[in-house]
Structure 1
Amino acid sequence: MTGPGMAGRRSSTFSRLLRHGFTDPSAAERLLDGAELTGVRNDPVLLEALGATADPDLALHGLVRLLEAQPGATARRELLDTVIAAKPLRDRLLGVLGASAALADHLARHPRDWEALVTYEPRDLHPGVEEFERGLAEATDPVSLRVAYRRCLLSIAARDVCGTTDITETAAELADLATATLRAALALARAAAPGDAAACRLAVIAMGKCGGHELNYVSDVDVIFVGEAAEGADEGKALRSATKLASHMMRICSETTVEGTIWPVDANLRPEGRNGPLVRTLSSHLAYYQRWAKTWEFQALLKARPVAGDLDLGRQYVDALAPMVWQASQRENFVTDVQKMRRRVVENIPAAEVERELKLGPGGLRDVEFAVQMLQLVHGRADASLRSGTTLDALRALAEGGYVGRADAEQLDAAYRFLRSMEHRIQLYRLRRTHLVPEGEEDQRRLGRSLGMRAEPVTELNQEWKRHSGVVRRLHEKLFYRPLLDAFAQLGPGEARLSPEAARERMVALGYADPAAALRHLEALASGVSRKAAIQRTLLPVLLGWFADSADPDAGLLNFRKVSDALGKTPWYLRLLRDEGAAAENLARVLSAGRLAPDLLMRAPEAVALLGDGDDLEPRGRAQLEQEVLAAVGRAESGEAGVYAARGVRRRELFRTAAADIVHSYGTETKPAEADQGALVDEVGAAVSDLTAATLAGTLRSVVRDGWGDTLPTRFAVIGMGRFGGHELGYGSDADVLFVHEPREGVEEREASEAANRVVAEMRRLLQVPSADPPLLIDADLRPEGKSGPLVRTLKSYEAYYRRWSLVWESQALLRAEPVAGDEELGRRFIELIDPLRYPAEGLGEDAVREIRRLKARMESERLPRGADPKLHAKLGPGGLSDVEWTVQLLQMRHGWAEPGLRTTRTRQALAAARAAGLLGTEETEILDEAWVLASRVRNAVMLVRGRAGDTFPTEVRELAAVGRYLGYAAGHVGDMLDAYRRTTRRARAVVEELFYGG
């Protein structure tokens, strides 16, 4: 029976529980009314203590579970009376229960372990390794070791959540507990194999956070093992014994039992990583680090500390390697290696997690650690005070030594402490290894309250987190790149700067032809106190070096300034260059490689976004391009607007293709240049051809829609010819085409013909509207009767012409014919029509062969530009494109009827098919293929460098050097490039003389 009085009391209880921070007062009331809390249900002391925890609901539930687990009523009463009477225990126990469900589970399984929290004396506040060893001393097997470990962990967590220890003391205690645990696990391993223990000396070296006395609640414990033979023992046997002990010790810590796991022991920082022996002798370690070690391995050794096993051997190891660690900054590319390693860490974070990643993400803990470690390694060689393995101790030493401003150090210290506190409390909840900030409001509320935020814990948590993360980002950029910064760009207030004379000398040394202009660009980009200028100051030192690696550093820097001015107010631009490891380097390569790609980028600066670390530079297929173009055309209000939209897609995709070509040809510091030049040519040819086909499809759709709505009175198809049909277009190639139509049922041929001609005329007009984009010229001169014949014919007209008038050169031209746009069925029927012409039954007669040879010889003598060096003309010169293609096409016409592999529009595929059919030898095929690929690369290079098509090497010095750089030749080696071209094409011409002209 309920009455007004009971309802009022319940309402009062609800309000009181809500006031104390409970989020589920109904469940809390049921627990408080339970038998376990008899007599203390309304005790204000208990409710006040529960309300002070991170999660009062979780704390109350854990307390009830602990009481239920007690072995009897007397034990339950003892625990409850102690909790109510003793504030230190109450705060410790409830604090842990409100912050850690995992430790609540442990207490429920081991109900007397709460007694470990009773002692509250000064000597108990900061236990060290010896105290933890005493706490683990009773462990006789892996299961009991886990129980004892969790009991010790319980005491650390209690001091942590109550504020008795700060984050650095907690992390040090966790490292000391890990040390004691490693020693206990090694003792168990030794006891299990006394023979192995007697045969060797084994030292365990802690690395990473354990070595640095800054361990997390849940973390891999990184170690390296050093072994030596015991006196009188055989070294080989000793190392085998040491390896068994080390493996057993790792399993004891890492394996999961009924009590869970302790933590994984990770030995992958050892020489050769997973592939190297688990245990090495000291001399073997030294030999490896002297000859083979990478920069990151010396960075890792900065935190090395002997913790278990033979500590004398461990100290010998650390002492012997210390000189190498502190000389590491003198290694070639040291700074860039460290920077690249940090960038790779960020690149490997899943995109969905990067904003929640406390440790590895931008503005996270690793940013602080990498910045501090790099400055330690740079300056620690001469200043021993910097040689601490603990991040905050090293940061304090850097500030005291003047290497870091005091204000910067104070901000980094505060941010690091806050982020580590977040990380600790996130891990403490489930004792799981994670560095991700939880997304759920309930989890964020508990996390915020655990850090002392009570008014609006979720809001306050996110504000503080973002504020500290922002501080870390800013200072990481400043400190991590500063060793390169002073040489090039103006720094912030109070920072040192180079004199104008010294800066100018530096620019000259880097190869800038106009250092005064370069310095003006730097001043414009990096001066001031804005965030944009600050980021530019972190980027420019690296970018300047990349520009200097090109043939025209001045152009690269000028183009970068133009792009930066165009995107200056776009928030993502500099962030992309700063946060994505490859973006800035890719941009530098693209901007300094010539005119085409920068010109395209200036027309669409937002395309910078394609240069990031993902797959954005991968060419898109024809179907995807055509879908986008047709969708853009469909949204346009007129034919001209539709073609303008199609050209916009073409502009962006040309930039994508050119940028990928440049990046793959130049390579980057993180990715070497592609070795397969043929694959690059094929990729460019396919990409440009697909893009041209999609553009024509969009133009056709625009014209038809404007003139006739949805349906043209005649079926209409565009047939690609020449390099277009062969999927081999270069950046500056015209689009050779044929137009074919067929009247629809019920439409008179005259009406159909008029419509088809209007379509062709309008397509050509719209594509020739003046624009700053690279031109797309439609060339229909390969049609029947050439320039004298009609631009478009019916399928029947083509059939009649080819049956009666076709010449051998026309059959040869049709070898490259392939439908590219319009009516697919009509295009297929056109191909069926021409197949007998281009692959004549029984091959070519001798008269036809002589005619083809005559035409080729005439072309060589008449079409080569006056004054051009024939030996350097990529298209018409000896061994150039024309030589190879005519040779291949002659083989196709003579043998295509019998060899299906030859029935392809693609030159390289036809070459491979001819070799497979035994028509060419392997060496001949390789010679022709190499020459064709090289000539194609030269034409592409000329267009990329000059911004206009050309078939010969440039004569201007910088342009010629840029072509050489694209082809893989270092500065000063253009002579080698020209010699190699002449040599390659001379060999190809010899093959052509034999195969095409018959010797």
Structure 2
Amino acid sequence: MTAPGRRSSTFTRLLRHGFTDPSAAERLLDSPELAGVRDDPVLLEALGVTADPDLALHGLVRMLEAQPGPAARRELLDTLIAAKPLRDRLLGVLGASAALADHLARHPRDWEELVTYEPRDLHPGVEEFERGLAQATDPVSLRVAYRRCLLSIAARDVCGTIDLADTAAELADLATATLRAALRIASAAAPDDAAACRLAVIAMGKCGGHELNYVSDVDVIFVGEAADALADEGKALRSATRLASHMMRICSETTVEGSIWPVDANLRPEGRNGPLVRTLASHLAYYQRWAKTWEFQALLKARPVAGDLALGEAYVDALEPLVWQVAERENFVADVQKMRRRVVENIPAAEVDRELKLGPGGLRDVEFAVQLLQLVHGRADASLRSGTTLHALHALAAGGYVGRADAVQLDEAYRFLRSMEHRIQLHRLRRTHLVPEAEADLRRLGRSLGLRTDPVAELLREWKRHSSVVRRLHEKLFYRPLLDAVAQLAPGETRLSPEAARERLVALGYADPAAALRHLEALASGVTRKAAIQRTLLPVLLGWFADSAEPDAGLLNFRNVSDALGKTPWYLRLLRDEGAAAENLARVLSAGRLAPDLLMRAPEAVALLGDGDGGGLEPRSRAHLEQETLAAVGRAENAEDGVRAARGVRRRELFRTCAADIVGSYGTETQPAEADQGALVDRVGGAVSDLTAATLAGTLRAVVREGWGEQLPTRFAVIGMGRFGGHELGYGSDADVLFVHEPREGVGEREAADAANKVVSEMRRLLQIPSADPPLLIDADLRPEGKSGPLVRTLKSYDAYYRRWSLVWESQALLRAEQVAGDPELGRRFLDLVDPLRYPAEGLGDEAVREIRRLKARMESERLPRGADPKLHTKLGPGGLSDVEWTVQLLQLRHGWAEPGLRTTRTREALAAARAAELLGGEDAAILDEAWILATRVRNAVMLVRGRAGDTFPSDPRELAAVGRYLGYSPGHAGDMLDDYRRTTRRARAVVEELFYGAAGER
């Protein structure tokens, strides 16, 4: 007898073994049914490893009470203590399932079923389950027999002797046997109906996929035919309908032994509104004409399970070709994606966070992603045609359609979430996929999954972790842009024989199909995983290359990049999985020479085309670029290595800018071309100018650090001029600059000048050293006295020169002056110094205006290349860049002193400010803006296409066509492009004539 206030040793042991109500457990152990074993440590230890020891002990006492007599009770207890397999299975079931404990209390001898199998035994199949149900002759006996079979599955499941996939397969096999038994009972009750028809039961959903839950609707479709070909078909279908209806009621209706599960036939053609049973011909006609996309997705899991299996096989054989054609439907991928979103949107808000099956990161995310990939790629790859989610996932990984690491994570997450679902349903044998909220339920659920230290916290943590993985990979796979492109390929194009490939290459416009075929064979031949992924990518890439003017070059460039990156694990994975990387790469590789040349110098820059870490085509800010460049220089051992590192950053960022420009100009299947051409021009000019400034800043740092340490003996600044200062550099532009310095206190002028000149000399030399990186040419010809003047001047020297000798063209050039590198305070003082020159008080005098006009006329006549068509020269031709810029700059020189908006280095900003100040009309401003944008776009296009700068349209037809594609002209319309250019510049020239040369120019 335990003293009041003290705990018994049994109470303490019960707590240690996981009982949550030790007092109630002590009372149960004291019950007469457990006499003789209550102190046996074997029993207590076995109860302690169950999911819910309290529930297990309570269920055991109920079973013992229900035994028919003392001898039966003794037999159970003796076997329980002596036989570990029975002990683990029986107590495991009692601790996990109150519903099966109820069954064992009603049928106390069914525990003997758990002695039959040894651990790791062979898995029972449909035939063995059929034998277990053979004696059932009515709905009640069928339920008892079903629960008896279910008991054996659950026992081995909770003990871990079968895994999740085998459990789900056995549950599907048991459902198959049950459907057959129910049809047998229904046929016995209506022998005339059974004799009049052939009836096939097609399992759908999880039963059809061999991955059933403990409690789930069993989805079916019925196919019926007359037993005799000469019999009345209508009468036979009525007989089949009665049999099918009776079979469904046998499984679904509630009796004294409960129900089995609902049989749901709503996946049939027309759903609830359609006939329950159709002939095979009627099914086929419906799917050929009326079926929606989701109905074909459902057919992925169709499997004949009961009735006339030959008729069922004929049904599957007839419909299978239609399943693998559904991906060719217009908007197929978008329809499947929309259906998944609709499922999520329909979840009640109060349940969405607990929804294990339908919610974000739930089981449906895995299943929808796998099924979409199957339907898209399974047309050409029969290995993907499985109705079982995990089998299909493994096939997708083996075929290279899903990354191996992604497949492993999805497999683990799916198994964990399905195991959670199984354990939740097993407790009460009720259909649910909501995670419980009560702590006791969560504790039992966690312990049933082997989480014992802190079951609730561990369960919630693992659930959220796996759910997050599922959601991330679902977004990655389910919304993969490549899917839509593959789905749009014509039948047979997803896997090409050599002859079919040659025919397709010709049809797509490849000029040398034999060479293209050799590239394809080199990329995709063999049995390696790399070749498998290439075989998935190439049919789509061929079409994207063909959208360009140079498909052959695009394919060759792709082979070169693939060869260079062939051993990197991330390259093909990036193209297959990440965003629009594959299409972006196809556009970039087939748009000309510049971008592929930059890429081949550093193929790892392919990563920029994705949208993951390190990817993205948005230009980096000047501050970001300068910070990265200075950091790269700081890691180098000497100036040459530092500048090499700075040029490497420049090369990569030039590629990013080119790629963004190409993708924005061409558009992709998921992103239309940029409609605002001005935005494209501004983005390129700004990005290249910022990059040039960062490169100069890094080069300056490298030179100063090597020659003088941390500080130069003179302050030093770089002033951007021309297009550089105006944030309008093109891909091939030189960097127009001025250099200014100012001796530090205590430093002599000669020492300061020598240091400044040495800096400039070293900067120019290092930036032009031959290497894999494109050179950056520094042009200082806009300095005072031009090429005859010193490269570097002090601020005082600039002041003296500009006050005494400055010419009007120098005032005009200084309109573009902006500090870009070096000492910012010195740069600001230089700009303060030149502001009175570029924005002269009261504007320009008449003589100065006439001088500017004479300079412009002389430049046009002297600089225009001999033989060039002036009307197609983007810089010096009528209505071209020079016309627009000189017109805008004349307005700035004349009115900048009075209009603050005109005090900008950027042409388009100044033009907009002039319009706002009513210095020209809105229509004239729009005409000039359009011409300037178009001319700039043409120059950028020429550089992208030819790989070298040019101010005129290419004469080579292919290059001209490529420029046209960049500008948005379809193949065969290069002539329209030239006509449009002439028309646009002609209108601009008319405005220039009026504003720059005419009466309006006198304002």
TM-fit CA distance, 1:119: 9.9
TM-fit CA distance, 1:658: 0.9
Q: 1:372 to 1:702 in 2, by over 3 A?
A: closer
Q: Which residue of 1 aligns with 2:418?
A: 424
Is this contact kept in 2: 1:486–1:498, CA < 8 A?
Answer: no
Partner AA of 1:986 in structure 2: R
TM-fit CA distance, 1:616: 2.0
Equivalents in 2 of 1:973, 1:358: separation in Å? 51
Q: Which residue of 1 aligns with 2:647?
A: 647
Alignment of 1:234-245 (within 5 A): none
Q: Which residue of 2 aligns with 1:714?
A: 714
Q: 1:392 to 1:847 in 2, by over 3 A?
A: closer
Does 1:373 find its partner at 2:378? no
Q: Which residue of 2 aligns with 1:995?
A: 995
TM-fit CA distance, 1:329: 4.0
Q: Which residue of 2 aligns with 1:514?
A: 512
Deviates more, 1:822-831 or 1:892-901: 892-901
Equivalents in 2 of 1:296, 1:761: separation in Å? 69
Partner AA of 1:973 in structure 2: H
Partner AA of 2:651 in structure 1: R
Equivalents in 1 of 2:291, 2:822: separation in Å? 57
Is this contact kept in 2: 1:535–1:578, CA < 8 A?
Answer: yes
Q: Which residue of 1 aligns with 2:551?
A: 553
Equivalents in 2 of 1:793, 1:738: separation in Å? 9
TM-fit CA distance, 1:915: 2.2
Q: 1:665 to 1:482 in 2, by over 3 A?
A: closer
Deviates more, 1:609-618 or 1:625-634: 609-618
Match of 2:51 among 39, 45, 58: 58
Q: Which residue of 2 aligns with 1:21?
A: none
Partner AA of 1:425 in structure 2: S
Equivalents in 1 of 2:292, 2:702: separation in Å? 58
Equivalents in 1 of 2:217, 2:732: separation in Å? 56
Q: Which residue of 1 aligns with 2:659?
A: 659
Does 1:603 find its partner at 2:601? yes
Structure 1, residues 758-787: CA drift from partner, whole Å, max 9, x if none? 111111111111224322110111111111
Q: Which residue of 1 aligns with 2:566?
A: 568
Partner AA of 1:977 in structure 2: M
TM-fit CA distance, 1:837: 1.5
TM-fit CA distance, 1:170: 4.3
- Structure 1: runs of 5 or more not aligned: 1-8, 18-23, 136-152, 178-205, 223-266, 272-278, 283-288, 306-321, 346-355, 381-385, 399-403, 435-441, 451-461, 492-496
Partner AA of 2:538 in structure 1: L
Which of the pair has more CA radius of gyration?
Answer: 2
Equivalents in 2 of 1:124, 1:567: separation in Å? 59
Partner AA of 2:859 in structure 1: M
Structure 1, residues 49-93: CA drift from partner, whole Å, max 9, x if none? 658xxxx3634365469899x9xx999x99x99996998998777
Q: Which residue of 2 aligns with 1:693?
A: 693
Is this contact kept in 2: 1:167–1:417, CA < 8 A?
Answer: no
- Matched-pair identity in %: 66
| SS of residue paired to 1:996 | helix
Is this contact kept in 2: 1:370–1:480, CA < 8 A?
Answer: no
CA RMSD of aligned residues (A): 6.1
TM-fit CA distance, 1:564: 1.3
Partner AA of 2:807 in structure 1: L
Equivalents in 2 of 1:843, 1:728: separation in Å? 26
Partner AA of 1:745 in structure 2: E
| SS of residue paired to 2:793 | strand
Equivalents in 2 of 1:218, 1:900: separation in Å? 76
Q: Which residue of 2 aligns with 1:498?
A: 497
Is this contact kept in 1: 2:685–2:728, CA < 8 A?
Answer: yes
Q: Which residue of 2 aligns with 1:981?
A: 981
Alignment of 1:388-467 (within 5 A): 421-428=415-422
Equivalents in 2 of 1:294, 1:965: separation in Å? 40
Q: 1:65 to 1:119 in 2, by over 3 A?
A: closer
Is this contact kept in 1: 2:324–2:378, CA < 8 A?
Answer: no
Deviates more, 1:861-870 or 1:910-919: 910-919
Q: 1:214 to 1:865 in 2, by over 3 A?
A: same
| SS of residue paired to 1:806 | coil
Equivalents in 1 of 2:910, 2:108: separation in Å? 85
TM-fit CA distance, 1:340: 9.9
| SS of residue paired to 1:738 | strand
Q: Which residue of 2 aligns with 1:845?
A: 845
| SS of residue paired to 2:559 | helix
Q: Which residue of 1 aligns with 2:921?
A: 921
Is this contact kept in 2: 1:167–1:420, CA < 8 A?
Answer: no
Q: Which residue of 2 aligns with 1:895?
A: 895
Q: Which residue of 1 aligns with 2:828?
A: 828
| SS of residue paired to 1:683 | helix
Is this contact kept in 2: 1:295–1:328, CA < 8 A?
Answer: no
| SS of residue paired to 2:740 | strand
Partner AA of 1:167 in structure 2: A
Q: 1:928 to 1:392 in 2, by over 3 A?
A: same
Partner AA of 1:718 in structure 2: V
Q: 1:926 to 1:359 in 2, by over 3 A?
A: farther
Structure 1, residues 919-975: CA drift from partner, whole Å, max 9, x if none? 233222222221111111111111111111111111111111111111111211111
Q: Which residue of 1 aligns with 2:438?
A: none
Q: 1:115 to 1:613 in 2, by over 3 A?
A: farther
Q: Which residue of 2 aligns with 1:872?
A: 872
TM-fit CA distance, 1:688: 0.8
- Structure 2: runs of 5 or more not aligned: 1-8, 114-128, 144-149, 179-202, 220-265, 276-285, 303-318, 343-359, 426-432, 436-443, 453-465
Q: 1:417 to 1:611 in 2, by over 3 A?
A: closer
Q: Which residue of 2 aligns with 1:167?
A: 168
Q: 1:367 to 1:799 in 2, by over 3 A?
A: same
TM-fit CA distance, 1:369: 2.2
Q: 1:498 to 1:749 in 2, by over 3 A?
A: same
Equivalents in 2 of 1:217, 1:817: separation in Å? 77
Q: 1:219 to 1:974 in 2, by over 3 A?
A: farther
Alignment of 1:22-37 (within 5 A): 34-37=26-29
Deviates more, 1:735-744 or 1:165-174: 165-174
Q: Which residue of 2 aligns with 1:673?
A: 673
| SS of residue paired to 1:819 | strand
Alignment of 1:70-219 (within 5 A): 94-95=91-92, 161=158, 166-168=167-169, 170=171
Q: Which residue of 1 aligns with 2:611?
A: 613
Deviates more, 1:364-373 or 1:621-630: 364-373
Partner AA of 2:946 in structure 1: R
Is this contact kept in 2: 1:298–1:324, CA < 8 A?
Answer: no
Q: 1:426 to 1:808 in 2, by over 3 A?
A: farther
Deviates more, 1:792-801 or 1:506-515: 506-515
Is this contact kept in 1: 2:168–2:213, CA < 8 A?
Answer: no
Equivalents in 2 of 1:564, 1:850: separation in Å? 59
TM-fit CA distance, 1:884: 1.4
Equivalents in 2 of 1:579, 1:341: separation in Å? 20
Is this contact kept in 2: 1:964–1:973, CA < 8 A?
Answer: yes
Q: What TM-score do you get using the length of structure 1 for normalisation? A: 0.66
Structure 1, residues 831-873: CA drift from partner, whole Å, max 9, x if none? 1111122112222222222222221122112111111111111
Q: What TM-score do you get using the length of structure 2 for normalisation? A: 0.66
Equivalents in 2 of 1:391, 1:521: separation in Å? 37
Q: Which residue of 2 aligns with 1:770?
A: 770
Partner AA of 1:797 in structure 2: S
Q: 1:801 to 1:631 in 2, by over 3 A?
A: same
Deviates more, 1:823-832 or 1:325-334: 325-334
Q: 1:870 to 1:744 in 2, by over 3 A?
A: same
TM-fit CA distance, 1:26: 6.5
Equivalents in 2 of 1:576, 1:343: separation in Å? 25
Instruction: State how many pairs are aligned.
Output: 797
Does 1:754 find its partner at 2:767? no
Partner AA of 2:623 in structure 1: A
Equivalents in 2 of 1:857, 1:175: separation in Å? 92
Equivalents in 1 of 2:864, 2:66: separation in Å? 108
Equivalents in 1 of 2:660, 2:967: separation in Å? 14
Q: Which residue of 2 aligns with 1:944?
A: 944
Equivalents in 1 of 2:896, 2:273: separation in Å? 65
| SS of residue paired to 2:647 | helix
Equivalents in 2 of 1:207, 1:660: separation in Å? 47
Q: 1:684 to 1:973 in 2, by over 3 A?
A: same
Is this contact kept in 2: 1:89–1:118, CA < 8 A?
Answer: no
Is this contact kept in 2: 1:488–1:498, CA < 8 A?
Answer: no
Equivalents in 2 of 1:131, 1:628: separation in Å? 76
TM-fit CA distance, 1:35: 4.9
